[in-house]
């Protein structure tokens, strides 16, 4: 209340309401007696005012009608106004007619008084909001009064006349600093055509965009369709390109929920929009059961997948999160993000390599994790193809050491992050990850529930093609694609991390989970889309150059190999491959594990000698489906 008394707006609205109360009471008398007042009615009117005005003001104040910011008057404010008007009228009628001197007064007058009070005070508040929206309280009141628009306000269309479109328009109306003036909505729903949202008409569908552009002089479009599927977004983008209109899109629903509901968050359409992958639904309770209150170790915590795993894990409130990475910069970045942006403090950072047995053993002894997510791996195919010893040291030996120590420490769950390149591998990277999968399965049944999660490329990850394309576009260079037919599966980083967490909840031990990657995408089509999304035309503004397949690169990626039986799980986006129990014809799991570990030791000795050809030959022995390219190693 003291803060209200310090506000000049309080006195302005309070005094205005007193005047409106007065006008409402006078208007009620003139209406009741058809604008012919006798001296008696005038005397009655004047004698009641000293009671009515302060009482109404007191009721309005008790309902908080002077605490609001009037430029944001809403439905809830109007509901409070209705309650205050009705209550004040009922009390006034009841009290006044209990007093003898008011017994001859007209009851109808006081009923009309309540109605006029509601109408006048409500209209006053709505008008204040209207004035703010029309900028009548700024320097440009003349322009607003005469409907002259500011020169810096660009006329725009909003594509999507739904909830997101309405929010976009409302923010533009409420924020005079935004350089937009919405002249119409575009929506393919014919039932909305000819209608209006906050006075702005729904002009027509996407097919009418070019004609509407000319008619209304619009050169920009705001796409307010955050939940639309990829093909629908693609249709809008293609229509904008055909009409020569610039376009931006609202953030996705996840971003809106995170509190970014602002036109400051409008961004250029990116390739993740065009993938059109529906948001992943998680069984939050199932994930929470094995994360909440437990100690979680993430290896490769600073990488693309590892860092996103950390962001997702902290939402489930683990007892402690242990971040391990051998990249100083990446580890520092994720540490700063978790500490300062996420505001999560129960974490520890360890700078080192999981292939170091002493470091790994000390880490597990010190922090005793319940769950390990093993995301640490080298994954750049061409680099590993010419430096295969690094794939052996980091990917294979790192996994072997961590798996062995996890079993010794009786860690409850171990989740290995794998790749679709492990399926019928044609490169060192894929073969090394397949060996990791085999190691995981060979140790299954020793008290630690081990499983692997296999998926394809993630949009925007370190070393992925999209950041490379964007950099080439920014420099005005031709986009380099290895082959016109090269095809890959794609998903977003958050989607991959969420599904890894879900697979960890489902797994009982020994499974290889496969994430639903949707439809594979041709890299050349992706390149063309990104050029268009940058406002340029492929072949005219930016060329696409085919450079030939790189060492170890495949035309197509697969998610399963011959003989792997794949079955659905309780989650529609996750499939599972169960081990066939044949153990490579060696008779038992123990015999197979011994044979595999001997082979891994041989690989390590070859890596120490940097014998690339020997490493390839040994990988062929351990992974019979590995199709190694011809060995040409020169150091």
Domain boundaries, the chain: 2-133, 150-269, 292-457+492-515+564-622
How far is 138 from 133, CA to CA, in rounded Å?
10
How far is 435 from 441, CA to CA, in rounded Å?
10
Q: The dihedral of CA 469, 472, 477, 482: what is its sign?
A: negative
- Tell me which of 473 and 480 has the higher pLDDT: 480
What CATH class does 292-457+492-515+564-622 carry? alpha beta
The values of phi and psi at residue 145, to 5°, are -65, -40
List beta partners, residue 406: none
How far is 52 from 84, CA to CA, in rounded Å?
13
Q: Which residues of 65-93 are buried (b: 16+ CB within 10 A; e: fewer)?
A: bbebebeebeeebeebbeebbebbbeebb
Would you identify the CATH topology of the domain 150-269?
Rossmann fold (3.40.50)
Q: Which of 88-102, 383-397, 399-413, 474-488 has the lowest mean pLDDT?
A: 88-102
pLDDT reading at 137 higher than 50: no
Q: Give pLDDT, residue 561.
A: 55
Strands 490-492 and 574-577: unpaired
Q: Express each pLDDT in 99-109 by its tens digit.
A: 656 666 777 88
| Distance in angstroms between the alpha carbons of the first and the last residue of the chain | 80
Which one, of 573, 474, 464, 568, lies nearest residue 523 by Cα?
464
3-state class percentages of the chain: helix first, strand second, coil last, to nearest 5: 50, 15, 35
H/E element, 3: helix 2-5
Counting residues of the chain whose pLDDT is more than 90, the rounded percentage is 34
Distance (Å) of CA 137 to CA 133, 134, 143, 241, 418: 9, 8, 11, 39, 60
pLDDT reading at 21 higher than 50: yes
pLDDT band of residue 265 (cuts 50, 70, 90) is: very low
Would you call 468 helix, strand, or coil by DSSP? helix
Distance (Å) of CA 626 to CA 423, 485, 561, 585: 9, 22, 11, 18
List beta partners, residue 200: 197
pLDDT band of residue 138 (cuts 50, 70, 90) is: very low
User: Structure tokens of 556?
Assistant: 């197509």
User: Structure tokens of 280?
Assistant: 């992943």
pLDDT reading at 46 higher than 60: yes
Average pLDDT of the chain?
Answer: 82
Match 């209006």 to its residue by tokens: 196
The values of phi and psi at residue 413, to 5°, are -130, 145
pLDDT band of residue 134 (cuts 50, 70, 90) is: low
List beta partners, residue 299: 324, 374
pLDDT band of residue 259 (cuts 50, 70, 90) is: very low
pLDDT reading at 482 higher than 50: yes
How far is 619 from 395, CA to CA, in rounded Å?
13
Q: Do 150-269 and 292-457+492-515+564-622 share a fold?
A: yes
How far is 365 from 121, CA to CA, in rounded Å?
70
pLDDT band of residue 531 (cuts 50, 70, 90) is: confident
Q: Give pLDDT, residue 466.
A: 76
Q: Express each pLDDT in 166-188 by its tens digit.
A: 888 887 876 767 778 899 999 99
pLDDT reading at 327 higher than 80: yes
pLDDT reading at 347 higher than 90: yes
Quick one: average pLDDT of 432-451? 94
Quick one: average pLDDT of 59-66? 80
- Residue 33: exposure state from Cβ atoms within 10 A (0-12, 13-18, ≥19): middle
Q: Give pLDDT, residue 610.
A: 93
How far is 219 from 238, CA to CA, in rounded Å?
15
- Tell me which of 313 and 252 has the higher pLDDT: 313
pLDDT reading at 414 higher than 90: yes
Q: Give pLDDT, residue 264.
A: 41
Would you call 577 helix, strand, or coil by DSSP? strand
How far is 512 from 579, CA to CA, in rounded Å?
8
Task: Please state the pTM of the whole predicted model.
Answer: 0.60
């Amino acid at each position: 209340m003291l803060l209200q008394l310090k506000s000049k707006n309080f006195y302005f609205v309070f005094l205005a309401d007193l005047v409106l109360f007065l006008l409402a009471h006078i208007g009620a008398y003139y209406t009741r007696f058809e604008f012919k007042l006798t001296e008696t009615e005038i005397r009655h009117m004047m004698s009641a005012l000293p009671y009515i005005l302060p009482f109404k003001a007191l009721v309005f104040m008790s309902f908080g009608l002077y605490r609001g910011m009037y430029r944001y008057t809403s439905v809830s404010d109007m509901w409070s106004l209705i309650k205050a008007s009705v209550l004040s009228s009922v009390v006034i009628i009841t009290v006044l007619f209990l007093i003898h001197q008011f017994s001859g007064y007209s009851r109808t007058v006081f009923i009309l008084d309540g109605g006029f009070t509601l109408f006048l005070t409500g209209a006053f508040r709505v008008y204040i909001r209207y004035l703010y929206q029309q900028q009548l309280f700024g320097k440009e009141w003349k322009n607003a009064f005469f409907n002259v628009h500011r020169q810096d306000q660009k006329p725009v269309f909003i594509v999507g006349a739904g909830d997101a479109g309405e929010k976009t328009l409302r923010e533009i109306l409420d924020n005079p600093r935004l350089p937009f003036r919405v002249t119409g909505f575009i929506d393919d729903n014919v039932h909305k055509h000819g209608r209006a949202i906050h006075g702005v008409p729904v002009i027509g569908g996407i097919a009418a965009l070019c004609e509407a552009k000319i008619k209304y002089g619009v050169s920009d479009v705001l796409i307010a369709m955050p939940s639309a599927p990829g093909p629908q977004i693609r249709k809008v983008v293609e229509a904008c390109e055909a009409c020569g209109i610039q376009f931006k899109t609202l953030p996705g629903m996840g971003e809106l929920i995170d509190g970014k509901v602002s036109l400051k968050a409008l961004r250029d359409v990116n390739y993740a929009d065009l993938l059109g992958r529906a948001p992943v639904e998680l069984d939050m309770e199932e994930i929470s059961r094995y994360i909440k209150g437990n100690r979680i170790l993430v290896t490769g915590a600073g990488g693309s997948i590892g860092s996103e795993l950390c962001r997702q894990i902290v939402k489930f409130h683990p007892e402690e999160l242990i971040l391990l990475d051998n990249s100083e910069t990446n580890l520092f970045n994720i540490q700063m993000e978790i500490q300062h942006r996420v505001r999560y403090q129960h974490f520890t950072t360890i700078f080192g390599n999981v292939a170091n047995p002493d470091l790994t053993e000390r880490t597990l002894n010190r922090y005793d994790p319940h769950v390990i997510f093993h995301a640490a791996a080298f994954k750049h195919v061409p680099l590993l193809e010419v430096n295969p010893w690094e794939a052996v040291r980091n990917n294979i030996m790192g996994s072997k050491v961590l798996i062995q120590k996890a079993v010794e420490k009786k860690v409850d769950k171990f989740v290995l992050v794998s790749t679709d390149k492990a399926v019928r591998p044609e490169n060192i990277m894929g073969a090394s990850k397949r060996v990791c999968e085999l190691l995981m399965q060979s140790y299954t049944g020793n008290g630690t529930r081990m499983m692997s999660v296999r998926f394809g490329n993630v949009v925007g990850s370190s070393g992925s093609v999209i950041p490379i394309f964007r950099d080439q576009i920014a420099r005005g260079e031709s986009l380099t694609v290895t082959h016109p037919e090269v095809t890959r599966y794609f998903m977003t980083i958050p989607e991959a991390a969420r599904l890894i967490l879900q697979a960890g909840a489902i797994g009982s031990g020994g499974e290889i989970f496969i994430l639903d990657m949707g439809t594979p995408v041709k890299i050349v089509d992706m390149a063309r889309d990104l050029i268009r999304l940058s406002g340029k035309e492929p072949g005219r503004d930016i060329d696409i150059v085919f450079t030939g397949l790189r060492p170890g690169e495949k035309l197509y990626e697969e998610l399963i190999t011959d003989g792997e039986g794949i079955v659905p799980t309780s989650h529609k986006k996750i499939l599972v491959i169960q081990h066939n129990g044949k153990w490579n014809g060696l008779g038992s799991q123990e015999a197979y594990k011994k044979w595999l570990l001997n082979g891994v030791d041989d690989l390590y000795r070859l890596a120490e000698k940097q014998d690339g050809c020997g490493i390839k030959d040994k990988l062929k022995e351990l992974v019979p489906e590995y199709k190694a390219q011809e060995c040409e190693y020169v150091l």
